[in-house]
C-alpha cells in the first residue's frame, strides 16, 4: 500500500500521474514510482525514496507516453528502499505492477519461482505478482493476470502494464479500494477519488473479484464466479463524486488538520441535516428503514472499529445502553475476528470506519455476516466496501478528510451515533419528552461547537505553554473516558510526544506512579453526573505535584482554584458532551504539534486508510 494512480488516453500520462500522486500524499507514504509506456516501449521508469515534492523535475520530463501507472508506498513487507518501491517488475522488465494490499502466501510462491529460475530484485510481497504474470503470459495480458491471481492469497488493488501487450492497463481488486474515472476519451485509475477529482467526477467502483481491461477507447470489467471458476462481463453503474476539488484543498489554512477542525460545526450540521424529527422526538435515518423491523428485536450490539473509530464506538456504548436500553459492547476490529464470540440471533453489529475500507473492520464485518447476523455501517465514503457489504447503514456526511489524523470524521461519527441512539431508544422505552429534549439539543450543537472554535487563540496559548513537556496524561469518566483516549491519540499522532489516556478512576490503580511535575494531565471535567469524581481525580494528580489542564463547563469558576489552566465548553446534555469536549483536544494537539514544527498532515509511519491487516 498506499496509493495507486493509472492513466490511459490521448494526453501525456506522466504529468497526470504525478498530480494524482501529489493528491494522495495525505495518505502517508515513504517511497514512490512511475512507469510510462509509449508506442509499446518503456518511455519512463522511476522509483525513489522520500517525498514527491522533492522530485518536481519528474513531471517536467520529456516523457510523452500516454499509458502509465504510478504508486506511493507505505512500507509493509520490506524496508524503505528504491528497490522496494513500486512499480515492481519481472526478470526481464517486461511486466510492471503497482499493488496495494498484502500477498499472504508470497514466501511460498517466491520460493517456487526461485526454484524455476526467476530472479528477484526486491524484498516485497508484490514482486511475486510480476513474476507470476511473466510465467503465465501467452500473448494476452489480462489472461496472465487472472491466472496469477488464482495462485495468490490475500488482498490486492493492482494495476499492470506491459510492452509485451501494449495499449492497455489491467486492473484488479480484492478487498482494497480501486476505481476507474471516466473523462471522455481518457480513463484514470485510482485507489482514492482525490487523485482524479481534477479531471473527472464520473467514476466506477470495482468490486472484489473483478478485473478491468482499459484501452484508449474503451474498458471491459469482468467478474469471477467462484462456483464455476469462469469470468462474466459485469454490468457496472457510473457514479458521481459528490464533493468538489475545493473541498480537497487547504483553502488558506496552514494545514488540512486545522481546516478540518474548523469544519467540525459544519460536519455536525451535515450529519443532522434532514434527520431531526422534532415533533416526534426522533431521528429520521433512511438508511435504516429497510431493517427497521429487525432492529426492534435486537437485544445486543457489537460495536466494531479501529483507532479513532473505536473510540467513537466506545462513546456509542454509553449512548445506546443508557438511552436505548440495549447491551452494547465495543471491540477493536483487529481483535474481534480472532476471538470466539458468543452472540444470539438477536445480535447486531455496527461497524465504524471513516473510509469504509479498514481491513480489520471489514474482516470483522464478514465474520458477523457469515453467522447470519444483522450488520449496520457507519461510514463516510459512499460506495466503499463497508457501505456495500453491510445490510444497512448511515453515512456520516463528513466530506473528504485529508489529514491523516481524523478530526471532523470523528465528530461526524459521534453525531451519527447520537442519532442512532435516539432512533433505537424511540423504538423501545424512550419517552417522547426525552426524545424531544435530545433532538432539540442536537440541533444546537453546531452553534455550541462554533463557540469553542472562537476560543482557539486561548487554546493555542495554553498549548504553547506546555510544548517543553514530553509526557501527558488524559483522563475522563463515563462518556468522556473515550474522549481522553482520543485526546491522547491525537497528541501522539501529530506531535510524536508520549501521551496516555485512561479512565479517571483508574489513576490510583497504576498510572499515579508516573504523575509528577513533568507529566501534565488533561482532565475532561464537564458538569455532569461524574463531576465530583473527576474533581477527586484532579486532586490526586495535584497531590503529586502534577499540572492539570481542565476541560470544564462554561460558568464553572470554582475549578480555577484547583487546576493550572481551564478550557471551557458550553453546557449540553451529558450524552452529547463528547461531541464538544473533543474539539479543544483536537485544537490542543494541532497547536502543540505546530509549535514543534511537525509534519502535521502526514505524520511519520502513519497512513490515512489502513487497508491491510
Sheet strands (E) in 77-122 = 88-89, 96-100
- DSSP 8-state secondary structure symbol assigned to residue 372: T
Taking phi over 0 as left and psi of -120 to 50 as alpha, with beta for the rest, 376 belongs to: beta
Give catalytic status of residue 2 as yes or no. Answer: yes
What is the four-CA torsion angle of 457, 463, 468, 471, rounded to 10 degrees? Answer: -170
Contact 452, 580 (CB under 8 A): yes
| Catalytic hit among 47, 314, 478, 608 | 608
What's the CA gap between 202 and 247, in Å, rounded?
17
For the chain, count helices (H), then strands (E).
Answer: 17, 27
Give catalytic status of residue 604 as yes or no. Answer: no
Q: Which of these, 581, 591, 201, 599, lies nearest to 411 by C-alpha position?
A: 581
Contact 83, 72 (CB under 8 A): no
| Catalytic hit among 2, 35, 46, 519 | 2
Cβ contacts of residue 378 below 8 Å, gap of 6+? 312, 350, 351, 352, 353, 393, 394, 396, 413, 416, 417, 420
In this structure, the chain runs to a length of 613
Q: Which of these, 478, 455, 460, lies nearest to 526 by C-alpha position?
A: 478
Beta bridge partners of 304: 331, 351
180: which 3 cell numbers? 476507474
Contact 130, 95 (CB under 8 A): yes
3-state secondary structure labels for all residues of 319-364: HHHHHCCCEEEEEEHHHHCCCCCCCCCCEEEEEEECCCCCHHHHHH
Q: What is the CA radius of gyration of the chain?
A: 25
Active site residues: 2, 608
Amino acid at each position: 500500500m498506499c496509493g495507486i494512480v493509472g492513466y490511459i488516453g490521448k494526453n501525456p500520462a506522466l504529468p497526470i500521474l504525478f498530480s494524482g500522486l501529489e493528491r494522495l500524499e495525505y495518505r502517508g507514504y515513504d517511497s514512490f514510482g512511475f512507469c510510462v509506456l509509449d508506442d509499446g516501449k518503456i518511455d519512463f521508469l522511476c522509483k525513489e525514496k522520500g517525498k514527491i515534492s522533492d522530485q518536481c523535475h519528474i513531471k517536467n520530463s520529456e516523457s510523452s507516453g500516454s499509458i502509465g501507472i504510478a504508486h506511493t508506498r507505505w512500507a509493509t513487507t520490506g524496508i524503505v528502499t528504491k528497490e522496494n518501491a513500486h512499480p515492481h517488475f519481472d526478470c526481464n522488465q517486461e511486466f510492471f505492477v503497482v499493488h496495494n494490499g498484502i500477498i499472504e502466501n508470497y514466501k511460498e510462491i517466491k520460493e517456487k519461482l526461485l526454484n524455476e529460475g526467476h530472479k528477484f530484485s526486491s524484498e516485497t510481497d508484490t514482486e511475486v505478482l510480476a513474476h507470476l504474470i511473466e510465467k503465465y503470459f501467452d500473448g494476452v495480458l489480462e489472461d496472465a493476470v487472472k491466472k496469477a491471481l488464482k495462485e495468490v492469497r490475500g488482498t490486492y488493488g493492482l494495476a499492470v502494464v506491459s510492452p509485451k501487450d501494449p495499449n492497455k492497463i489491467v486492473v484488479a481488486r480484492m478487498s482494497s479500494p480501486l476505481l476507474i474515472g471516466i473523462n471522455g476519451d481518457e480513463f484514470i485509475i485510482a485507489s482514492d477519488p482525490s487523485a482524479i477529482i481534477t479531471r473527472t467526477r464520473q467514476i466506477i467502483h470495482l468490486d472484489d473479484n473483478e478485473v478491468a481491461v482499459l484501452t484508449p477507447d474503451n474498458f471491459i470489467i469482468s467478474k469471477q464466479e467462484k462456483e464455476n471458476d469462469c469470468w462474466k462481463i459485469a454490468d457496472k453503474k457510473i457514479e458521481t463524486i459528490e464533493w468538489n476539488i475545493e473541498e480537497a484543498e487547504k483553502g488558506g489554512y496552514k494545514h488540512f488538520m486545522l481546516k478540518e477542525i474548523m469544519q467540525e460545526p459544519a460536519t455536525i450540521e451535515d450529519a443532522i441535516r434532514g434527520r431531526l424529527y422534532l415533533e416526534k422526538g426522533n431521528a429520521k435515518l433512511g438508511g435504516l428503514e429497510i431493517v427497521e423491523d429487525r432492529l426492534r428485536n435486537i437485544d445486543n450490539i457489537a460495536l466494531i472499529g479501529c483507532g479513532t473509530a473505536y473510540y467513537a464506538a466506545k462513546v456509542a456504548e454509553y449512548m445506546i445502553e443508557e438511552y436505548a436500553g440495549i447491551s452494547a459492547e465495543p471491540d477493536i476490529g483487529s481483535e474481534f475476528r480472532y476471538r470466539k464470540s458468543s452472540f444470539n440471533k438477536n445480535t447486531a453489529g455496527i461497524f465504524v470506519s471513516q473510509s469504509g475500507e479498514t481491513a480489520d473492520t471489514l474482516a470483522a464485518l464478514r465474520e458477523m455476516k457469515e453467522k447470519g447476523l444483522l450488520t449496520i455501517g457507519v461510514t463516510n465514503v459512499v460506495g466503499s466496501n463497508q457501505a456495500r457489504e453491510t445490510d444497512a447503514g448511515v453515512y456520516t456526511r463528513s466530506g473528504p478528510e485529508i489529514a491523516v489524523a481524523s478530526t471532523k470524521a470523528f465528530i461526524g461519527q459521534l453525531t451519527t451515533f447520537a442519532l442512532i441512539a435516539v432512533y433505537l431508544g424511540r423504538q423501545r422505552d424512550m419517552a417522547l419528552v426525552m426524545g424531544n429534549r435530545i433532538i432539540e439539543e442536537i440541533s444546537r450543537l453546531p452553534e455550541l461547537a462554533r463557540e469553542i472554535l472562537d476560543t482557539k487563540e486561548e487554546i493555542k496559548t495554553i498549548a504553547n505553554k506546555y510544548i517543553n513537556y514530553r509526557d501527558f496524561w488524559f483522563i475522563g469518566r463515563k462518556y468522556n473516558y473515550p474522549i481522553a483516549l482520543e485526546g491522547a491519540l491525537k497528541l501522539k499522532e501529530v506531535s510524536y510526544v508520549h501521551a496516555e489516556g485512561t479512565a479517571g478512576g483508574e489513576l490510583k490503580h497504576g498510572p499515579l506512579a508516573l504523575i509528577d511535575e513533568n507529566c501534565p494531565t488533561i482532565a475532561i471535567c464537564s458538569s455532569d453526573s461524574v463531576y465530583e469524581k473527576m474533581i477527586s481525580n484532579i486532586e490526586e494528580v495535584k497531590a503529586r505535584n502534577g499540572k492539570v489542564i481542565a476541560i470544564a463547563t462554561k460558568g464553572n469558576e470554582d475549578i480555577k482554584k484547583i487546576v493550572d489552566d481551564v478550557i471551557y465548553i458550553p453546557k449540553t446534555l451529558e450524552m452529547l458532551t463528547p461531541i464538544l469536549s473533543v474539539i479543544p483536544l483536537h485544537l490542543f494537539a494541532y497547536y502543540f504539534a505546530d509549535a514543534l514544527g511537525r509534519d502535521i498532515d502526514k505524520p511519520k509511519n502513519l497512513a490515512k486508510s489502513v487497508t491491510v491487516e
